[in-house]
Each structure stands twice: as C-alpha cells, then as structure tokens.
Amino acid sequence: MLLSACSEQRSSFLDPGGPIAAAQRAHMIEVVGWTMIAVLPVFVLVPLMLWRYRYRNDKARYTPDWEFSGWLDLLMWGVPFIIVVVLSSMLWKSTHALDPYKPIASAEAPLEVQVIGLDWKWLFIYPELGIATVNEMAFPVGTSVSFVLTADTVMQSFVIAALAGQIYVMPGMRTQLHVLADEPGDYEGENMQFNGLGFTKQKFRALAMTPADFSAWVEEVRSHGVALDEATYGRLAVASTGTQAHDTLGSPQMPADALYFNAVEAALFEGVLHRYMRGTAVPPALQPGAVGYLPPPAPTGESQ
Ligand SMILES: [Cu+2]
C-alpha cells in the first residue's frame, strides 16, 4: 500500500480504484482479522508458557498425570470450527458477489471492449466505436466496462489488479470480465501467465477518464490510428512486445509503446475465436503464436 503510493500507476487491489477491488481488499482484511483469532493466541501463549514452565520456576504447578480438560478441548476445537464456518460462508458470498461474469450496476450503459491476447501484447477492440488499441485502453469513469476476451496464442491471464480480479484467456474460448473505476486514474494491467521471453513486457495502461477526456481520446485514436485489416493484424500477431509492434506498425503520432487503429474489421474478434473452432487442427502457419507462423504479406505500395 505504501509503495503503490510512490508511483503514479496503480497496480494493486490494496489501492483500489473501483468497487470490485475495494470489495476484494475488504474481504482480505476480514479474512486476516478472523484468522488472527486463531493465530494471535498462539503467538502470545507459546512464549508465555515456555517462560512460565521453565526448568527453574518452582512456582509453576507440576502435573505429570494430567491428561484431559473438556473446556480446553472445547476451546481448542470449537474456536477454529467457528472460524472455518465464518470464513467459508464469507468466501461463498463474495465468490458470488464478485463473479467476473456478473455485470456491474452503473448509471451509464456498459462499454463493450473485446480483448485478444497476443504474444506479448493485448489488443483492445471497441466494436461500437470502430477503433482498436494495443498497450493502452481508455474508458470513462463510472461506466461499467464489459470485457469479452480470447487469445490468438497460448493461454494468458488478464488482470487490472487495482480494479478487478484476473481472468484467463484461451484460444477458441471466450471469457468475460466486468470492471468499473470510480476515480480517474492510470491503472496497470498485465498478463500474469508465464508464457515466454516477452511476457514481463506484456503490460498495458488502463486509463479511467472523464467522459469528455474519453471522447477526445477516441478522436485521437481515430485520427492517428492506422487501419486494422487482415494484413495489419497478421503482422501485429507475430511474437513481439507492444514496443516492437509499435516500431513495425506505429506512427510518430501514437504514444511511444502503444498502437492506435481505426477502420477495424467488424468481425475480427469472432474471426479469431472461430479460427480454433472448425473441428480440425489449425496448421502452425496459420496460427499466431505457433512456431512457423506465416503472417499474410504486407500489401504492396505500403512503406515500413
Ligand atoms: Cu478454458
């Protein structure tokens, strides 16, 4: 909590920016509190007993034939039993309350963002706005973001820790995550799955903005973005970090390690999902993330 205050980017549920992470933090504090009922007496009583029943203490009663105390047994088994009952019912309740698939109530209509996990970057598609980004995604404060996620490579783990829990993404599968930020901020998102050399660089900025700032950001992405068609996607999907992909596809108007796209093909996400759902194995040449993947050739006449 102290360290997270040092950086501008917020990366822990202990410094929550929205209701889900706040509930996670409250849950953790409650769990620690209840567990301490069992743990603290041990920490206090063990040294106390070692000292009281030490060899040279004549005042401590010596009872070598003592073997049973009903009250002591009731205390030793009863208290942990109650704690286990309390903790399991709390866990049951918060597991259902914090279900990542459950929409979060918010005044504004939810914003849908499609996420495709690539090596080693995240592609964010805004289907209603016709834009897409890599390494940077923005959304308005107070609006529930409804993520729909898949992967076009090996399994990955998507998390924006200061806002919500993690969710896995897998090729040919669709998972969901709902996120809401109550405060504007720069939240760190990442891939928590170890899946190759570049995975530590697979981080992105989740920017919670005022609605006006968000509209300006969308315009910025539209005007400085490049078209995301099959050829561009093919080159984006090659194993590279976001910064490396920026060097291949980016323009100087885009932020240093992020990519902006406009003219996004409407069914791109569905297409990626269905690549793995045809009932036959995908040949490596057609599968981003596989060794031997051959991206579609760049259209002729294009620079870079
Ligand atoms: Cu699965």
How far does the centroid of ligand 1 lie from the alpha carbon of residue 89, in Å?
Answer: 27
How far does the centroid of ligand 1 lie from the alpha carbon of residue 276, in Å?
Answer: 13
Query: Can you say how many angstroms the Cα of residue 191 is from the centroid of all Cα atoms in its chain?
Result: 7
Identify which of 134, 150, 153 has the alpha carbon closest to the alpha carbon of residue 243.
134
Identify which of 165, 35, 26, 43 has the alpha carbon closest to the alpha carbon of residue 98.
165
Token output for 217:
């950001």
Identify which of 254, 250, 218 has the alpha carbon closest to the alpha carbon of residue 236.
250
How far does the centroid of ligand 1 lie from the alpha carbon of residue 173, in Å?
Answer: 6
How far does the centroid of ligand 1 lie from the alpha carbon of residue 146, in Å?
Answer: 19
C-alpha distances (whole Å) from 23 to each of 51, 53, 94, 140, 190 are: 42, 45, 8, 21, 21
**pLDDT score for 160:** 97
**pLDDT score for 106:** 86
How far does the centroid of ligand 1 lie from the alpha carbon of residue 174, in Å?
Answer: 8
**pLDDT score for 225:** 96
Residue with tokens 């930020």: 181
How far does the centroid of ligand 1 lie from the alpha carbon of residue 280, in Å?
Answer: 18
How far does the centroid of ligand 1 lie from the alpha carbon of residue 264, in Å?
Answer: 27
Q: What is the pTM (predicted TM-score) of this model? A: 0.88
Pairing relation of β-strands 259-262 and 156-160? unpaired
How far does the centroid of ligand 1 lie from the alpha carbon of residue 286, in Å?
Answer: 21
Q: What is the pLDDT along the chain (304 residues), one digit of tens a residue?
A: 445 455 688 999 999 999 999 999 999 999 999 999 999 999 999 999 999 999 999 899 888 899 999 999 999 999 999 999 999 999 999 999 999 999 998 888 999 999 999 999 999 999 999 999 999 999 999 999 999 999 999 999 999 999 999 999 999 999 999 999 999 999 999 999 998 888 999 999 999 999 999 999 999 999 999 999 989 999 999 999 999 999 999 999 999 889 999 999 889 999 999 999 999 999 999 999 888 999 887 766 544 4
How far does the centroid of ligand 1 lie from the alpha carbon of residue 37, in Å?
Answer: 38
Q: Which amino acid is at 10?
A: R
**pLDDT score for 8:** 82
CB 119 within 8 A of CB 196: yes
How far does the centroid of ligand 1 lie from the alpha carbon of residue 196, in Å?
Answer: 20
How far does the centroid of ligand 1 lie from the alpha carbon of residue 16, in Å?
Answer: 28
How far does the centroid of ligand 1 lie from the alpha carbon of residue 171, in Å?
Answer: 8
